[in-house]
Amino acid sequence: MGRWFGTDGIRGRVGSEPITPDFMLRLGRATGVVLGQGGRCRVVIGKDTRISGYMFESALEAGLSAAGSDIYLLGPMPTPAVAYLTTTLSASAGIVISASHNSFEDNGIKFFSANGDKLPDHLQDAIEEELERPFTTVAPQRIGKAKRINDAVGRYVEYCKGTVPFGTNFQGIKVVVDCANGANYQVAPMALSELGADVVAIHNQPDGMNINHYCGSTSPQSLCEAVVAHRADLGIAFDGDGDRVVMADHRGELVDGDQLLYLMARYRRQHGALPGGVVGTVMSNLGLEHALAQLGIPFERAPVGDRFVHRQLLEREWILGGEASGHILCLDRATTGDALIAALQVLEILVKSQSNLSDYTAAMLKYPQHMINLPVADRSRIERLQDDKIQDCVRSVEQELNGQGRVILRPSGTEPLIRITVEGPQEDTVVRLAEQLATEVSSSLAQ
């Protein structure tokens, strides 16, 4: 990857480079130049609900226009909706203005190709190279035009509904939907209601600053409580840009991405609809791996990030993969991770099997995991993770686990953090070992 692009696009604090209007102006122009290749191209722009999206939408629009590109503006839409509409509008690329599950103080940019999947590395590299060149504007007669797509919500809702078999309905199912005050605040309740579900929507009043604030897939406590309070059959929580989903069963117990993957894989294997196996990540719970093995389903791990899960799925010609955080990829139904489509698939499975979340996922026994996030002010210090003292501590922890668990020590791809995770059969042991390793890492980075 280049200087600006990380594992999931470009992300940072609003007002600090590169998350500034000036950079977005230049990024828009560079994107238009690379994709247009001297001619005219069409680019779709969507955003989540954070207040800075207005500013960056305008800057990107101006930059793209200066390069001679036409722009289709979608307004607040889930990230996977932008991927879908990029293809249906025959655009050269789609741009999402979002920092996903981060708080409103952050923002970022994600790209989709004309096919609705992640923008290839070589195009990202070309955009970065173009960013280094002087800002120029095409001749006045070639300046790009902007158009707002007023029916974007309806288009995407109909697409999502079409991913469940014709005639399927969710009548009699009561669902609490936590929209994270984010991009799914309109489309998710609408799609579920139109399919017959009795929907109780919470955290669906975005004000530009409450996105992901003690709500959504990263803070699902209020969802779990609401499911019990409303006597619902289940709960669904999305993140701010709508590409992650976790759920709660009728008892208010959390069901994470690993458990949802198990549910989908189990049902698909039973009905001959799972070619190959499942791709997870290095963070996927050992319980998922063991439960899939009992079903005879192959399981492979990719680096953290749905981009890498997607890549492995394509290489293996498999269709199902995801992360514990709730990124779920069903490539026979969507080109990218789509939280709403994944949620609809889960409801479809529960209706057809006449089961509930708790019973259907009971056979997957999760191993206790304990994660500690260490803030890193100076990202150059991350290289010290390979220091002998830290690696000796990692080996010591692994020896104590005695082959019955795992240690994951890695920098975050989206935030200035080092993530320390220990997994094993005993919760008190993994907590103690994670804290022991965190103390050593923190001490070494401070020197």
Active site residues: 100
Architecture of domain 10-151: 3-Layer(aba) Sandwich (3.40)
Give the total residue count for the chain: 447
Domain locations in the chain? 10-151, 369-446
CATH classification of 369-446 is 3.40.50.970, yes or no?
A: no
Confidence at residue 5, expressed as pLDDT on a 0 to 100 scale: 86
Burial class of residue 250 in the structure, from the number of CB atoms within 10 Å of its CB (0-12 exposed, 13-18 middle, 19+ buried):
middle
Per-residue pLDDT of the chain (447 residues; tens, 9 = 90+): 358 887 678 999 999 999 999 999 999 999 999 999 878 899 999 999 999 999 999 999 999 999 999 999 999 999 999 999 999 999 999 999 999 999 999 999 999 999 998 888 899 999 999 999 999 999 999 999 999 999 999 999 999 999 999 999 999 999 999 999 999 999 999 999 999 999 999 999 999 999 999 999 999 999 999 999 999 999 999 999 999 999 999 999 999 999 999 999 999 999 999 999 999 999 999 999 999 999 999 999 999 888 899 999 999 999 999 999 999 999 999 999 999 999 999 999 999 999 999 999 999 999 999 999 988 776 666 766 777 778 888 899 999 998 888 998 888 766 778 889 999 999 999 999 999 998 888 887 777
Cα dist from 361 to 282, 303, 311, 340, whole Å: 21, 25, 27, 19
